[in-house]
Amino acid sequence: MPYELYYWDGIQGRGEFVRLALEDAGADYIDVVRENGGVAAMLAILKSKTEPLVPFAPPFLKDGDFILSHVANILLYLGPKLDLSPTSEKLRHFANGLQLTIADFVTEIHDTHHPIGVSLYYEDQREAAKARAKDFLENRLPKFFGYFERVLAQNPKGPHTMVCGTHTYVDLSIFQLIEGLQYAFPLAMTGYEADYPLLAALHRRIKMRPRIARYLESDRRQPFNEEGIFRHYPELDRLVR
Amino acid sequence: MPYELYYWDGIQGRGEFVRLALEDAGADYIDVVRENGGVAAMLAILKSKTEPLVPFAPPFLKDGDFILSHVANILLYLGPKLDLSPTSEKLRHFANGLQLTIADFVTEIHDTHHPIGVSLYYEDQREAAKARAKDFLENRLPKFFGYFERVLAQNPKGPHTMVCGTHTYVDLSIFQLIEGLQYAFPLAMTGYEADYPLLAALHRRIKMRPRIARYLESDRRQPFNEEGIFRHYPELDRLVR
């Protein structure tokens, strides 16, 4: 039975971190909301008055009758099944901690364009967004990137993967972060390879994985746009180096 | 060997969700930064150029040589050891998804007073904070509380616990959310019991657990203040009912 991924159609968003794992593993899955009747199916679960495992929000995954939500939790569950996790229990917790750091970073990236609230349009919070994006690019992005670069450098199995000596879902998520930030903040990301050579090498390695390369060329990969997490608003971007 | 919890001294903050689990279980642990030399010990790990399992930020836990970070990840690890997890693998993932929803809510609570950036003082972002707190109290708090209330109502084992039929770390974290919100937003929380009777009953139940009651009276429980997640700024609070 294929996995069922439930996430909004039309954006990569948080669902993309799950899609990349499913695609990299060549897993059998349905992107439910991109099929006919998919939105209704998703809302039926979200609004259910009886489902015990009701999720707060997309993305969520169905594996048979089992439902689970949150990117890091879904990847924790799928990782061993897709051969995208470290094998030891302890390193699985380390991978999960890294994925949660990525989740925090994603929230901060999102909030550069929505610092006041998700209920309001970007245009109604643009001035606050400029202040938040400035702080993000000057302080937060270097802090997160510096940390991820150190994790690579300090990996006893070598600086090519984030956890252990083999490829995991964390590496795929780092790739997506860099892709998204290059779309949203092309000025700020100019020349990032010089400061973060290990991250840049990881990004290149993932992009060349055969299934990922095919996925990126397919129409299953939706383009970045100004509805998702990573939005390109030129007024929020700036050279920081 | 006792667990070692590393978190900033002087605030409950995110560390408190871990402390409550350790205290409820009567576990042997050291709150390292509250001991002599603790800050230096924490910074040595955070700044280490060799530690493979380096965390991004506190809180993190040491269990012997093993280090893991992020509240939800720490509770996922400790839960089975402290008898605060469901027994089935699937319900452990459901509990983890709930804990991650709580983590998202905590970030939104924090951002009511820091919508522009953690690098800036509250006083330098007060106007944006007023707008964000308004949106939070009118839209986000009811959305999260409504969801948690539904999870209780839809629990097939009864509406007294969030997951399965036994007490878990998720219940302890819900207690802390309500304690914190009552401190930060006493006006907005006035009469919340009428709208969320199951949450209110859960809050009362946890408060009366013997080890929790003793902990809350001890000096290990630090008071809420305006340095933590839950801050009482009267200008951000309002009656919403």
Nearest CA in chain A to B53: A94
Question: Mean pLDDT over residues A28-40, rounded?
Answer: 97
Nearest-CB residue to B115 (from A77, A115, A156): A115
What is the per-residue pLDDT for B215? 98
Q: Specify the CATH class of A89-236 in words.
A: mainly alpha
Distance CA(A30)–CA(A52), nearest Å, equals: 23
CA distance B209 to chain A (A): 26
Reference B23, options B166, B161, B176, B165; nearest CA is: B176
CA distance A219 to chain B (A): 30
* Per-residue model confidence as pLDDT tens digits over B58-113: 999 999 999 999 999 999 999 999 999 999 999 999 999 999 999 999 999 999 99
Residue with tokens 């969520």: A60
pLDDT bracket for residue B119 (50, 70, 90): confident
Reference B170, options B107, B93, B56; nearest CA is: B93
Question: What DSSP line would sit under B29-82, residue for residue?
Answer: EEEGGGSTTHHHHHHHHHT-SS-TT--SSS-EEEETTEEEESHHHHHHHHHHHT
pLDDT bracket for residue A106 (50, 70, 90): very high
How many A×B Cβ pairs under 8 Å? 130
Residue B33: pLDDT over 90? yes
Residues within 8 A of B (CB atoms), A 22-81 only = 48-56, 66, 68-70, 72-73, 76-77
| B61 DSSP β-pair partners | B5, B68
Question: Mean pLDDT over residues A172-192, rounded?
Answer: 98
* Per-residue model confidence as pLDDT tens digits over B131-189: 999 999 999 999 999 999 999 999 999 999 999 999 999 999 999 999 999 999 999 99
- Contact across the interface for A56 and B101, Cβ inside 8 Å: yes
Count of residues in chain B: 241
Chain A residues in contact with B50 by the CB 8 A cut-off are: 154
- Contact across the interface for A52 and B93, Cβ inside 8 Å: no
Residue with tokens 């770390």: B169
Residue A231: pLDDT over 80? yes
A131 touches chain B (CB under 8 A): yes
Mean pLDDT rounded to a whole number for chain A: 97
* Long-range contacts from B23-26, C-beta under 8 angstroms, 24+ separation: B23/B211, B23/B212, B23/B215, B23/B220, B24/B82, B24/B84, B24/B172, B24/B209, B24/B211, B24/B212, B24/B215, B25/B82, B25/B83, B25/B84, B25/B211, B26/B211
- Contact across the interface for B56 and A147, Cβ inside 8 Å: yes
Residues within 8 A of B (CB atoms), A 138-167 only = 139-140, 144, 147, 150-151, 154-156
Name every residue whose Cβ is closer than 8 Å to that of residue B84 and which is 6 or more positions away in sequence. Answer: B21, B24, B25, B75, B78, B167, B168, B169, B172
Residue B116: pLDDT over 80? yes
Q: Specify the CATH class of B3-81 in words.
A: alpha beta
Distances (CA, A) of B197 to B97, B109, B148: 23, 22, 11
Residue B241: pLDDT over 90? no
What is the per-residue pLDDT for A118? 86
Torsion of CA A96, A97, A100, A106, to 10 degrees: -110
- The alpha carbon dihedral of A219, A220, A221, A224 has a sign of positive
B135 touches chain A (CB under 8 A): yes
Domain chopping of chain B, boundaries: 3-81, 89-236
- Contact across the interface for B70 and A116, Cβ inside 8 Å: no
Position with higher pLDDT, A95 vs A241: A95
Q: ipTM of this model?
A: 0.97
Distances (CA, A) of B239 to A15, B82, B171, B185, B236: 36, 39, 27, 9, 11
What is the per-residue pLDDT for A241? 74
Chain B residues in contact with A112 by the CB 8 A cut-off are: none
- Contact across the interface for A156 and B52, Cβ inside 8 Å: yes
What is the per-residue pLDDT for B8? 96
What is the per-residue pLDDT for B59? 98
Neighbours of A49 (CB within 10 A): 8
* Per-residue model confidence as pLDDT tens digits over B35-61: 999 999 999 999 999 999 999 999 999
* Per-residue model confidence as pLDDT tens digits over A119-178: 889 999 999 999 999 999 999 999 999 999 999 999 999 999 999 999 999 999 999 999
CA distance A147 to chain B (A): 7
| Residue B219 token pair | 């000096």
* Per-residue model confidence as pLDDT tens digits over B228-240: 999 999 999 999 8
Burial class from Cβ neighbours inside 10 Å (0-12, 13-18, 19+) for residue A240 reads: middle
| Residue B136 token pair | 């939070």
* Per-residue model confidence as pLDDT tens digits over B123-139: 999 999 999 999 999 99
Pairing of strands A66-69, B29-31: unpaired
